Structure formats: C-alpha cells, structure tokens
Chain A
Amino acid sequence: MSMVFAPRMAEAAPSSHAGASWSPYDNNGGTCVAIAGADYCVIAADTRMSTGFSILTRDYSKIHQITEKCVLASSGFQADVRSLQKNLDARHQIYQHQHNKQMSCPAMAQLLSNTLYYKRFFPYYAFNVLGGLDNEGKGCVYTYDAVGSYERSGYSSQGSGQTLIMPVLDNQLKSASPLVLPPRESSTPLTENEAVDLIKDTFASAAERDIYTGDGVEIVIINKDGIRRETMPLKRD
C-alpha cells in the first residue's frame, strides 16, 4: 500500500521563502514494528517523540492496548494518534455493551480501517501497526497506511525507521514475505524469545542511522497467558 497523502512538516524556525503557510500536521517521528508468531505477537515502538530536529521527550509510549488481545502501535503525528486511540476505545466500549464480549483482533482491524477512511479527506496522520491474537489464538499483525488500506501479514514496520528495519525482518524472520503473491499470511517459526531478541537488535540498528529513532524501545508481548511489557534503552544521540 502506498501513502496517498504527503503532508508538509511544520517548520521549526520562521520560514523565509514565499508560499509557506500553517500546516495542521506535524511529524513526531518514531518507528513501530510488529511480529506475529504461532501463538504470540510482539509489538514494539521506540519511545522518542520529536519535532523537526528537536526532541520533545525521550519517554513517550506509542503503544496502546485497545482490547484484551489487541494492541495498536502508531507513529506519525501523535496528536492524531491519541485522537484515533480514543476514538477506537469509545467504539470498543459500545461494542462490548452491545455484544457482551470484547472485539476480536480481525474485527478491530476492520474497524480501524473504516475509522481511517472515514477521514479520507483530512486524514489521521498516523502510521499504524495492529498486533494481537486472532480468534484461534494465532498471532496476527495488520499494517495500515494513513487512510485505512490494510493487510494482514506475518510482520511489519512503520514510521521513520521503517525502511531500515523491514529488509532486516524480511531476511531474519524466515516467514513468507508479504510481497510474494498469492498473499499468504504466515507467522514466523521463531520462538517468542527469539522474536523479542530480534526486535531489540533491529531497533538498536535503526537507532544508529535514523535520527528520529532512539532513546528507548517499548516491547509488548501478547500470548495466551496475557500481556507483558519490556523496555530497553537505546542510544540517546
């Protein structure tokens, strides 16, 4: 899926060239990754929030748990991300009242897509990765563009470090690449701990070259026993 909207980033200093005007969007940077396993899902995001060439904070969570088994990680414009998270939470509460149960991960995936497309002409500047366990307990990862085009795959990355991380995952995960047709959603044969170690390595590498990724990485692991979190510091330069 390609990004159909390319908003301008807000300038840090007053601009001198003609034609510059106010933009409703800003890019707070950061990278999100998710990996699906046979019975687990790992979702990770760095904790740096930046604007332009400045760091706003080193300790901001881009990961949001929406249901018991479903977690959303989003990079991009964090104000839009927060608004999107609140929107989904409210919709989930209503769903629970009406259906007497939590939303499944595939159902939430569709809801997220519809929510994003609803604002097709003033999009949420959010690059999302949804991860969790599907109805059968298998790991699932859904990856989105800003306006809701989505696909289930075995792994994905989004954000400023996306292009640095994705090839490494393609190489290391030993699962079918999402680029191969016909599309096969397959989870990685790696174990949970191997996947977490791979995530740590990829973030450490991305933090070396991508200036918007660093400070720390927050890793969320979902399996049948529940949800646990890990954090790891990254380079702060």
Chain B
Amino acid sequence: MFRNQYDTDVTTWSPAGRLHQVEYAMEAVKQGSAAIGLRSKTHVVLATVNKASSELSSYQKKLFKIDNHIGIAMAGLTADGRVLSRYMRSECVTHNFVYESPLPVGRLVVQVADKAQVCTQRSWKRPYGVGLLVAGLDETGPHLYQNCPSGNYFEFHAFAIGSRSQAAKTYLERKFESFMDCSKVELVRHALHAVKESLQEEELSSANCGVAIVGIGEPFVILDSKSLQAYIDSLEEGKNDQAAKLEVEEEGNAAVIERQDISGGAGVGVGAEGEGPTDMET
C-alpha cells in the first residue's frame, strides 16, 4: 500500500470514501501471526500460531479466557488485545453481577465493536490494531465471531486471521460443511490441520501452536502442552483409538483450575497481564 495524501488522520475521509487509517489498522492484523476458529453444533475451537521473536524469548499469549463461556484468540498488536480482553472480562463480570446469568456472546461482540468504532471517529485516538476471534457459548448455542479494528463484526462457521491465514482459510473452505457434526476431537484435528497450513514448512508441535475449546457443558479451557501434544500426535497417526484415549486424558489434564458450580460464576482465567516479549505484534 503506497502512502496517500488523506491518511494522516483517522478523521479524514479520502476522496474515494475510505478511511485509510482504519485500513492500515486492519493491515496490522494481517501482519500478526495466524489465529483460526471453527465451530460445530456443540463446540467452538480456537487455534493460534505461536511465534517467538527469538529463540531466547517466550511467545506472545494470543488465547485469553474471558469468562467460563467465552474466550478469544487475537492477531495483531497484542497489547491492544490485552486491553480489549480486560474490557470484555469486566463486562462479563458486571453482567453476571446484575443479571446472574452469562453475557450472551453476540452482545459482548457488539459492545467491543462499538468500542472499536469510537476510535475511528475521534481525532485524538487511533483504531485498535488487533483482530479478535471470539468463541463462545450461550443459550442459542456455540458461536464464532470476528471483531475488526474498523468496528465491524461478523459471525462465522470457520475463519482465520493474521499472516498466512489464506492457506488456513482455503483448508477451512474445503472442509467447513462437515464441521457442524464433528465431535470435539475431530474439530480440534481440523483446527490443527488448518494451523499446519499456516505454518507451511515448520513442523507442528505444542511449542509453536495453541488450542482452546469451549463447548456445551464444557467451560472455556486452553489446552496445556501435554494435551495439545497428544492431539498433534494423533494427527500424524490418525488412529481412532488415539482419539478415544484423548477423550479420557482430557478430563485429567485440564489446563485451568475450574471452580465448583455451587455459586456459579467464572473459573480461572489464563493470560497473565504483562507477560511476553517486548514485541508489539505477534
């Protein structure tokens, strides 16, 4: 994209009717490493490509738990993503306090979109430089949404954002019609296949990807490296008994401590504030 005369301010329209600053913000999302989401009738799976800026550093956290029933994957400026996830968590806690029920995913997504839109219409602000894939469950079932820096939001059966996401999207477009009836294990495998497409030359391992799942009767959980490695191994062997073993192992290897249900409310969140290398983008 070459520089334009009308791109200095987010509040300046170009003669072609575009806001270039907003488009540049969406460009930042495309530069981040890939995030993929897909859903079935019962589950939503998020997967991310984890890129470490150097061998010495740890990779940026891109998967965040927002509430027991909602989680996000982000691509782009993860600092902006952390701020948004803090906002989303706070909205969920407030809604739970006032209504004693979980915040429907669609409503949260609209609130985030409206927040993003404000930054496209103030001269002293800049748009958020992060795209979110929001996976959640509410009374109407499992949902997957995308939030853009532009303030738009879309619902998807499956989607991918970030760099080399087109490869993942091609895989998803081929397979998405079968997703609705997939079991959880099959859905995670599809997600890992899609991540593999984005990784291209690199070998898939629990070190360079992350997976999170939310489903009916299952709170949002980010898989720990042991469970994740088990899924990756099962991809290569493609055996059914591996899949059965995974189902059993998973009950034991919950990555996140879960609260008892007596009083309801959110379980443990993942994603400490202030972790990760100094790179802005992932």
A-B interaction: yes
Q: Which residues of A contact B (CB under 8 A)?
A: 64-68, 85-87, 89-90, 92-94, 96-102, 226-227
CB distance from A152 to the nearest CB of B (A): 23
Kindly state the separation between the CA atoms of A110 and B259 in the bound complex, as whole angstroms.
20
Kindly state the separation between the CA atoms of A234 and B255 in the bound complex, as whole angstroms.
43
B258 to chain A: closest residue by CB: A68
Top 9 A-B residue pairs of the complex, sorted by shortest distance between their CB atoms:
A97-B269, A93-B266, A65-B262, A96-B268, A90-B97, A93-B93, A89-B265, A90-B93, A97-B89
Is the C-beta of B263 less than 8 angstroms from some C-beta in chain A?
yes
Residues 81-96 of B, flagged 1 when their CB comes within 8 A of A and 0 if not, give 0000000011001101
CB distance from A28 to the nearest CB of B (A): 20
Kindly state the separation between the CA atoms of A112 and B278 in the bound complex, as whole angstroms.
37
CB distance from A221 to the nearest CB of B (A): 14
Kindly state the separation between the CA atoms of A92 and B273 in the bound complex, as whole angstroms.
16
Q: Which residues of A contact B94 (CB under 8 A)?
A: 90
Is the C-beta of B270 less than 8 angstroms from some C-beta in chain A?
yes
Q: Which residues of B contact A65 (CB under 8 A)?
A: 260, 262-263
Kindly state the separation between the CA atoms of A96 and B266 in the bound complex, as whole angstroms.
8
Q: Is the CB of A97 within 8 A of B65?
A: yes
The residue that B263 contacts in the complex, of A89, A97, A101, A102, with Cβ under 8 A, is: A89
CB distance from A44 to the nearest CB of B (A): 16
Kindly state the separation between the CA atoms of A99 and B35 in the bound complex, as whole angstroms.
25
Q: Which residues of B contact A99 (CB under 8 A)?
A: 272
Kindly state the separation between the CA atoms of A234 and B97 in the bound complex, as whole angstroms.
33
Q: Which residues of B contact A96 (CB under 8 A)?
A: 266-269
- The verdict on A100 contacting B268 (CB below 8 Å), with A90-B96, A93-B96, A94-B93 known, is yes
CB distance from A24 to the nearest CB of B (A): 21
Q: Is the CB of B269 within 8 A of A100?
A: yes
List 14 other contacts, CB 8 Å, given A65-B262, A94-B93, A100-B269.
A65-B260, A67-B259, A85-B263, A90-B265, A93-B265, A93-B266, A94-B90, A96-B267, A96-B269, A97-B89, A100-B271, A102-B257, A102-B268, A226-B260
A100 to chain B: closest residue by CB: B272
Q: Which residues of B contact A101 (CB under 8 A)?
A: 257, 268
Q: Which of B65, B259, B267, B273 has the most CB of A within 10 A?
A: B259
Q: Which residues of A contact B265 (CB under 8 A)?
A: 89-90, 92-93
Q: Is the CB of A98 within 8 A of B273?
A: yes
Q: Is the CB of B89 within 8 A of A94?
A: yes
- The verdict on A227 contacting B260 (CB below 8 Å), with A89-B265, A100-B270 known, is yes
B269 to chain A: closest residue by CB: A97
Q: Which residues of A contact B260 (CB under 8 A)?
A: 65, 68, 226-227
Q: Which residues of B contact A67 (CB under 8 A)?
A: 259
CB distance from A145 to the nearest CB of B (A): 24
Q: Is the CB of A66 within 8 A of B263?
A: yes
Kindly state the separation between the CA atoms of A101 and B268 in the bound complex, as whole angstroms.
6
Q: Which residues of B contact A85 (CB under 8 A)?
A: 263
CB distance from B270 to the nearest CB of A (A): 6
Kindly state the separation between the CA atoms of A66 and B268 in the bound complex, as whole angstroms.
13
CB-defined A-B contacts under 8 Å, sample of 26: A65-B260, A65-B262, A68-B259, A68-B260, A85-B263, A87-B97, A89-B96, A89-B263, A89-B264, A90-B93, A90-B265, A93-B89, A93-B93, A93-B265, A93-B266, A96-B267, A96-B268, A96-B269, A97-B266, A97-B269, A97-B271, A99-B272, A100-B268, A100-B269, A101-B257, A227-B260
